[in-house]
Amino acid sequence: MGDSTPAIRGVIATCLTPFADDGEVDLCALELEIDYIIEVCHADAIAIGATEDAEYSVLTWEQRGALIRQGVQMVAGRIPVIAGISHPSLERTVELAHHAAEAGADVVEAVMPIRLWGGDPDPDETYDYVAEVARRSPLALCVSHNRGPGADPAIPLYLRIADIFNLPYVIETSGDITRISRLAEEIDRRGSAGYFTTAPSLHINLTLGGSGAAMPPPAAYVGAQVVRAFRAGDRERAIEWQRILGLFPGRWYRYGNPPVMKVAMRHLGIDLGEPARPYGRVSRWDEAAIGQFLEEVGLKEPGEDTPTPQNVLGPIGLRSELLRKP
C-alpha cells in the first residue's frame, strides 16, 4: 500500500444513487445521504458509484463522471472516497480511474467482469484484466466480486489477485463461510490485502481476522455499531447489532438492495427517490413493514407517516435496547 493510500478497515458505506422524477441524479438528496453516511453512520469509507447498489449501469458516461466529481466534493475530505470505475472495457475502466484521481478520490473500485459475450472468464483472463487495471490506475485499486454481473473466481485466483501491486483491498460477496474463512486467513492475516465481505457476514469476517464489510445505508449505521462494539471487545453487543443485519435487508431480499434501502432511508427522512426505471418499487405493505422493523430495532421514531401492519416480525420480535445503551 502506497504512502497516499488510506488504511481502510471497518465499514465501507456504498452510496445509493438518488434519482429525481426526471431520471437525473438528485444532487440535493445525494448530499443529504453523504452527510448521513459520514455524520450519523460514522462509516470508515464511502464508495460512490462503485457497486451495483448504486445503479451506475443506467447512468450515461457523463453522469458517471459527474457523480464521482460531485460526490468527492460533497465528502470534502472527511473520510476516504472509493470511486467506482467498473466497465467491461479495460480502456474505459482505466479512463474512469484517471478521472477519479483528477476529481480527488482516494481509491478506485472495479468489479471483476464476465466476458463481453457472457460467462466466466478463465482465471488467467480475470487475473490479467485486474492486473492491467491496477498497473495503469493512478490510484490504488479495490477489486470487487458480484456474481450477477461479474465473474465468480475460485479461492486460488483470489490469492493470486491479492498479491497484485497497487491492489490493497478485496470485496467478496458470496457469504460462503468456507471462502470467508480461507480468504480472511490467507489474504488479510497474511498481509496481502484488506478483505471485506457484506453485511450478513460482517461479524464473522471480523472474528476471523478480516477487515470489515461493504453495505449501503442505513445498514451501514448498524454495521458501524458492530465494528465499534467488536473493537471495544464487547462481543455480546456486537452480536446483537449483527442480528439486525441478519434480518435487514435480507427479509425483503426479493426486491434487491436499492429498493429496500431507499425505502428505509425515506423512513429516516432522506428521500432518495425510486429505483431506476423500469424496475419495480417496494409494495406499500412491505414499505410499511420495513418502517415497523426500523421502529422495532430503534432506528426510527414510532408513529411516523404511513400506518404499519402489526406482528410482521414474527417470533423473533427483535426489540432492541441497543441505542439506549452507552
Instruction: Give the tens place of pLDDT for each residue, 146-176.
Output: 887 788 899 999 999 999 999 999 999 999 9
User: Crossing angle, helix 61-75 and helix 90-103, to 10 degrees?
Assistant: 30
Burial of residue 211 (CB within 10 Å: 0-12, 13-18, 19+) is buried
Question: What confidence score (pLDDT) does residue 214 get?
Answer: 98
In a domain, 23, yes or no: yes
Structural domain for 164, as ranges? 10-234
Grid coordinates representing 306?
404511513
Mean pLDDT computed over 45-53: 95
Of 117, 59, 104, which Cα lies nearest the Cα of 86? 59
Does 277 have pLDDT greater than 90? no
Q: What percent of the chain has pLDDT over 70?
A: 91
Of 180, 220, 175, 225, which Cα lies nearest the Cα of 198? 175
Contacts of 159 (CB under 8 A, 6+ apart): 183, 186, 187, 192
Task: State the pLDDT confidence band at 3, using cuts at 50, 70 and 90.
Answer: low
User: Is the alpha carbon torsion for 238, 34, 63, 48 positive or negative?
Assistant: negative
Instruction: Give the tens place of pLDDT for each residue, 242-263.
Output: 999 999 999 999 999 999 999 9
Mean pLDDT computed over 272-281: 86
Does 228 have pLDDT greater than 90? yes
In a domain, 269, yes or no: no
In a domain, 54, yes or no: yes
Grid coordinates representing 247?
434480518
Question: What confidence score (pLDDT) does residue 316 get?
Answer: 38
In a domain, 86, yes or no: yes
Does 218 have pLDDT greater than 90? yes
Contacts of 18 (CB under 8 A, 6+ apart): 25, 26, 29, 30, 33, 262, 271, 272, 273
Mean pLDDT computed over 287-306: 81
In a domain, 29, yes or no: yes
Question: What confidence score (pLDDT) does residue 319 get?
Answer: 47
Mean pLDDT computed over 122-129: 96
pTM of the model: 0.92
In a domain, 240, yes or no: no
Contacts of 158 (CB under 8 A, 6+ apart): 170, 172, 183, 187
In a domain, 273, yes or no: no
Under 8 Å between Cβ of 47 and 82: yes
Under 8 Å between Cβ of 262 and 285: no
Lowest-confidence region among 89-93, 140-144, 164-168, 276-280: 276-280
Report the alpha-carbon distance of residue 33 to residue 13 in Å, rounded: 11
What is the gyration radius of the CA atoms in the chain, in angstroms? 19
Lowest-confidence region among 32-36, 181-185, 208-212, 304-308: 304-308
Place of cell 468489479: 111
Instruction: Domain count for the chain, please give it.
Output: 1
Place of cell 442505513: 218
Task: State the pLDDT confidence band at 116, using cuts at 50, 70 and 90.
Answer: confident
Task: State the pLDDT confidence band at 83, using cuts at 50, 70 and 90.
Answer: very high
**Omega of the bond leading into 218 within 30 degrees of 0 (cis):** yes
The CATH number for 144's domain is 3.20.20.70
In a domain, 181, yes or no: yes
Q: What percent of the chain has pLDDT over 90?
A: 80
Report the alpha-carbon distance of residue 98 to residue 300 in Å, rounded: 40
Question: What confidence score (pLDDT) does residue 303 get?
Answer: 55
